[in-house]
Structure 1
Amino acid sequence: MTEAQRQIFVFMIYALIMVNFSGSSHGGAVSSEEEADRITSLPGQPKVYFQQFSGYVTVNKAVGRALFYWLTESAHSPLSKPLVVWLNGGPGCSSVAYGASEEIGPFRINKTASGLYLNKFSWNTEANLLFLETPAGVGFSYSNRSSDLFDTGDRRTAKESLEFLIQWLDRFPRYKGREVYLTGESYAGHYVPQLANEIMAYNANSKHRIALKGIMVGNAVTDNYYDNLGTVTYWWSHAMISDKTYRQLINTCDFKRQKESDECESLYSYAMDQEFGNIDQYNIYAPPCNNSDGSTFTRRNMRLPHRSHRIFRQISGYDPCTEKYAETYYNRPDVQKALHANKTRIPYKWTACSEVLNRNWNDTDVSILPIYRKMIAGGLRVWVFSGDVDSVVPVTATRYSLAQLKLTTKIPWYPWYVKKQVGGWTEVYEGLTFATVRGAGHEVPLFKPRAALMLFKSFLRGQPLPKS
């Protein structure tokens, strides 16, 4: 049997299972809501043998807030695989643009944005992937009350992400009781633990428990003070700033503050404008994306709430222009129609990140470490990873933050391997696993897709990363 014949056979078996499943105890026939969300095919998509669904879940009917999702089921034995929710950060950045389209999803967008090609390191080889755009105002998610874009924050995001998940499971009852894992990166270092915290509270008071088993976050915003201290230390240790600027930052800035002094702000600006040079801060060794006129393509100025100075992002990776392709592809009317997206005709262009939402973030936790302690005490599997050439939320920041948990070491620091090469380094603690990914930037699966998939497999299995 050829590989193509085998895939067709697997798909036919799956289809038969789904027909039989419709009369099961999980809620009877496939709901009309679920069927309405089915994606038959995306423009320029190669043929695949897994099911896809996308659409909206209204999380606040009074004001009309609705969150957009895209589910790509596992290519093999989806009924036996867990549900993995992926969140991107920002705050204000799209899980469709990043997680789905340039990191862990099954498709990549080609250079002309005319179509898609397969990602052979997609995480849907191991799990059913649910990409959620949260909060309202991110990507295709929307609110009918425009003022919501100016007063959202951590608390609403967590509560409405839980509301989304509860309603989504009602729409897809075959996933009820399925193991659930929450994953994400960057400011999802807030979203993921905060959503886990909401789920744990919900489970304590509900008969219909969500089977949350664990979380995994990468290059994660964790604690204001230690993230800031670790970031400045990284800049200095990687020769991005001078000894003088480093000493001035350490002696002048109060890293605990949400908004820094004018003197500290000017030091940050000087470091970025005068000492960094034309680099991609999200991967300090990657080439920038250049426009046809020779200028550099940069993301709109985005701000991390744990740091009050501006971040100038130049999109990077093996192909440093991936975000440009996403912004072209997802603004195509035929793509939006296939995704059942933008049905209300939002009055602004779809963007990978929302500047308005990012600059008007209303509330943010100073530290996520208390939630880490609750997750560990609650028996959740907790993994944290860091691409080690990211200077925005660098490995030093994460190590400084996690050290405050004062966890007992189970397996001391060692190199882990993928394809006979060192993939990074890891240490296993009581209740938490930490791993670095060698040579990866802020978006680890973009830069090191094979290593990221190995990391994901080990996480799902609850096994330490391979030593050889």
Structure 2
Amino acid sequence: MANPLVSNKCLFLISLFSMSLFLDHYIITCIIASEDQYPQSQESDRVIKLPGQPPSPPISQFSGHINVDPGTRRALFYWFFEAQSESSKMPLLLWLNGGPGCSSVGYGAAVELGPLRVDKNGVGLHFNKYAWNKEANLLFVESPVGVGFSYTNTSSDLTKVLDDGFVAEDTYNFLVNWLQRFPQFQTHDFFIAGESYAGHYVPQLAELVHDRNRDRTKYPMINLKGFIVGNPETDDYYDSKGLLEYAWSHAVISDQLYDKAKTVCDFKSFNWSNECNSAIDQVFEKYAEIDIYNIYAPSCLINSKSSLSHSSWPPDSVNNHGLRRSRAFGGYDPCFSTYIEEYFNRADVQASIHANKGRNSSTKWMVCSNYIHGTYNFTVFSLLSTYTKLIKGGLKIWIYSGDTDGRVPVIGSRYWIESLSLPLKSPWHSWYHNRQVGGRIVEYEGITFVTVRGAGHLVPLNKPSEALSLIHSFLTAQPLPIHT
């Protein structure tokens, strides 16, 4: 993407002074000259260096706000990393976290699949050798408005209209406007990825892009090729049934509680009975003793007031069915949310990523917003018809599932995928990673389902090497290894 004349000049200088003590000076000069070839609209968003960022390897990154309404009252915050090599040829991958109310910067970028991870002390950063920008140009966005550094100047956006449709429309407008700011990526293959409640966000955004691509007189073409979602909330009936059965089959709850919940709960009902709510409350009380998002991982013992402290269990808000929605996530270090909040609430960090434009700088940045979660309107209870539509539309669709997640367990995902009654393409079999079973995979006509052995809710955090192999296979169509 750099000006070729500048690049040639750099090569000439490096060759000419290859034996000189001043080589480093010329290399630095060339890098700066190359970066100056970016349009000013992009260059103003460039992140020069984050506090605590390691000196190598070099990372090309941008961040800032993109307006998502006709005025300037609402904007989403993004963090973008160019691919580590051949960025002009690599696909563009948009990552979304769920919640609703959890930050894609705080989770996806800073602890899961971004190239820079926050250290355990919350002071600095270290390079993630399993970052997904090895495979794609990587774009994170904090959505919906009110999450992280994204903002709205209209209070009713957060109290009256915040639902799946509103989020999809805002994210679509973000994408259109971001591609106008970064036009060099407009023709790249485009994929969407996410986890948890982004099991709603991702296919709904894909549907909106798919539909609007068919009307080129009103909307720009976005080169959408497909999407991949991990441990995704998809269908309330199957997800709820799976949650209960997983808790019993993994010795979290007793036979008596399991039998009682099966008797009093009709998960197909729009409103759960008081008896069912009471039984499911008891299930969550048992899960509160461990980490529901990674049932074999240790719980966080830090006495913290973080928005994700496990001491807040059970959460204080429920959806219309009474099923409690996720706020916290598990991982190798279950206290990571504390470190993330410490880092992104630093004034020097916020200044370096241009984070306080248009928002109240005194507002604390949180990994997950309890307020957004509490005001969100849960109006969509199944995405199965969306999947059927997008499969017919020819999109590439993968579902993956960490098999130690109790919150959106593998059982529920298997149930809803099987309910689509798709023709079987390749039967259930193991795939391998570093000569060990990485998980299992089954391919249907239209959907590929992959499990990741030993991973919880945040697969790229729990099993980073396996997750990188997974996204490589998805993006390149190279099959996952099936032999040691």
- Give the TM-score normalised by structure 1: 0.91
Say which of 292, 296, 299 aligns to 1:281. 292
The answer to whether the Cα contact below 8 Å between 1:318 and 1:447 also exists between their aligned partners in 2 is: yes
Q: Does 1:175 align with 2:163?
A: no
Q: In the alignment, which residue of structure 2 is the partner of 1:321?
A: 335
Say which of 294, 299, 302 aligns to 1:291. 302
Q: In the alignment, which residue of structure 2 is the partner of 1:367?
A: 382
The answer to whether the Cα contact below 8 Å between 2:231 and 2:401 also exists between their aligned partners in 1 is: yes
Say which of 36, 49, 52 aligns to 1:44. 52
User: CA 1:432–1:312 in structure 2 vs 1: closer, same or farther (change >3 Å)?
Assistant: closer
Q: Does 1:67 align with 2:81?
A: no
The answer to whether the Cα contact below 8 Å between 1:299 and 1:314 also exists between their aligned partners in 2 is: no
User: CA 1:363–1:12 in structure 2 vs 1: closer, same or farther (change >3 Å)?
Assistant: farther
Distance in 1 separating the partners of 2:59 and 2:26: 12
1:121-179 CA-partner distances (Å, limit 9, x unpaired): 10011111000111101111010012322230100000110001001000001001111
Q: In the alignment, which residue of structure 2 is the partner of 1:26?
A: none
Shift of 1:337: 0.5
Say which of 224, 239, 243 aligns to 2:255. 243
The answer to whether the Cα contact below 8 Å between 1:101 and 1:109 also exists between their aligned partners in 2 is: yes
User: CA 1:350–1:51 in structure 2 vs 1: closer, same or farther (change >3 Å)?
Assistant: same
The answer to whether the Cα contact below 8 Å between 2:61 and 2:80 also exists between their aligned partners in 1 is: yes
Q: Does 1:56 align with 2:60?
A: no
Say which of 199, 202, 205 aligns to 1:195. 205
Q: How does 1:32-431 map to 2 (within 5 A)?
A: 32-47=40-55, 48-62=57-71, 64-151=73-160, 152-206=162-216, 208-273=220-285, 275-276=286-287, 278-291=289-302, 297-298=309-310, 300=312, 301=315, 305=319, 308-310=322-324, 315-346=329-360, 348-431=363-446
The answer to whether the Cα contact below 8 Å between 1:178 and 1:211 also exists between their aligned partners in 2 is: yes
The answer to whether the Cα contact below 8 Å between 2:330 and 2:457 also exists between their aligned partners in 1 is: no
Distance in 1 separating the partners of 2:279 and 2:98: 26
Aligned residues: CA RMSD: 2.5
* Paired amino acid for 1:426: I
Shift of 1:246: 1.2
User: CA 1:162–1:302 in structure 2 vs 1: closer, same or farther (change >3 Å)?
Assistant: farther
The answer to whether the Cα contact below 8 Å between 2:65 and 2:357 also exists between their aligned partners in 1 is: no
Shift of 1:93: 0.5
* Paired amino acid for 1:211: N
User: CA 1:11–1:411 in structure 2 vs 1: closer, same or farther (change >3 Å)?
Assistant: farther
Distance in 1 separating the partners of 2:325 and 2:434: 35
The answer to whether the Cα contact below 8 Å between 1:299 and 1:313 also exists between their aligned partners in 2 is: no
Q: Aligned to 1:56, what secondary structure does the other structure show?
A: strand
User: CA 1:10–1:203 in structure 2 vs 1: closer, same or farther (change >3 Å)?
Assistant: farther
The share of aligned pairs that are identical, in percent, is: 47
Rg (Cα) greater in structure: 2
Distance in 2 separating the partners of 1:14 and 1:412: 50
Shift of 1:299: 7.0
* Paired amino acid for 1:341: A
* Paired amino acid for 1:147: S
The answer to whether the Cα contact below 8 Å between 2:330 and 2:458 also exists between their aligned partners in 1 is: no
1:325-349 CA-partner distances (Å, limit 9, x unpaired): 1111011011000010022342531
Distance in 2 separating the partners of 1:153 and 1:318: 32
**397-406 or 347-356, which deviates more:** 347-356
Q: In the alignment, which residue of structure 2 is the partner of 1:436?
A: 451
* Paired amino acid for 1:139: G
* Paired amino acid for 2:341: E
User: CA 1:405–1:303 in structure 2 vs 1: closer, same or farther (change >3 Å)?
Assistant: farther
Q: Aligned to 1:386, what secondary structure does the other structure show?
A: strand
Distance in 2 separating the partners of 1:90 and 1:304: 12
Distance in 2 separating the partners of 1:198 and 1:339: 29
Q: In the alignment, which residue of structure 2 is the partner of 1:457?
A: 472
Shift of 1:241: 1.1
Distance in 1 separating the partners of 2:142 and 2:197: 13
Distance in 1 separating the partners of 2:155 and 2:82: 33
Distance in 1 separating the partners of 2:459 and 2:317: 20
Shift of 1:312: 7.3
Distance in 2 separating the partners of 1:107 and 1:356: 28
Identify unmatched segments of 5+ residues in structure 1. Answer: 2-6, 23-29
User: CA 1:306–1:51 in structure 2 vs 1: closer, same or farther (change >3 Å)?
Assistant: farther
Q: How many residues align?
A: 452
Distance in 1 separating the partners of 2:30 and 2:311: 45
Shift of 1:364: 3.0
Q: How does 1:12-31 map to 2 (within 5 A)?
A: 30-31=38-39
**173-182 or 237-246, which deviates more:** 237-246
Q: Aligned to 1:112, what secondary structure does the other structure show?
A: coil
* Paired amino acid for 1:183: A
User: CA 1:232–1:292 in structure 2 vs 1: closer, same or farther (change >3 Å)?
Assistant: closer
User: CA 1:434–1:305 in structure 2 vs 1: closer, same or farther (change >3 Å)?
Assistant: farther
**236-245 or 219-228, which deviates more:** 236-245
The answer to whether the Cα contact below 8 Å between 1:90 and 1:304 also exists between their aligned partners in 2 is: no
* Paired amino acid for 2:186: K
Q: Aligned to 1:66, what secondary structure does the other structure show?
A: strand
Distance in 2 separating the partners of 1:284 and 1:35: 44
Q: In the alignment, which residue of structure 1 is the partner of 2:21?
A: none
Shift of 1:311: 5.4
Shift of 1:429: 1.0
* Paired amino acid for 1:51: S
* Paired amino acid for 1:404: S
Distance in 1 separating the partners of 2:96 and 2:368: 13
The answer to whether the Cα contact below 8 Å between 1:187 and 1:304 also exists between their aligned partners in 2 is: no
Distance in 2 separating the partners of 1:291 and 1:196: 39
User: CA 1:8–1:377 in structure 2 vs 1: closer, same or farther (change >3 Å)?
Assistant: farther
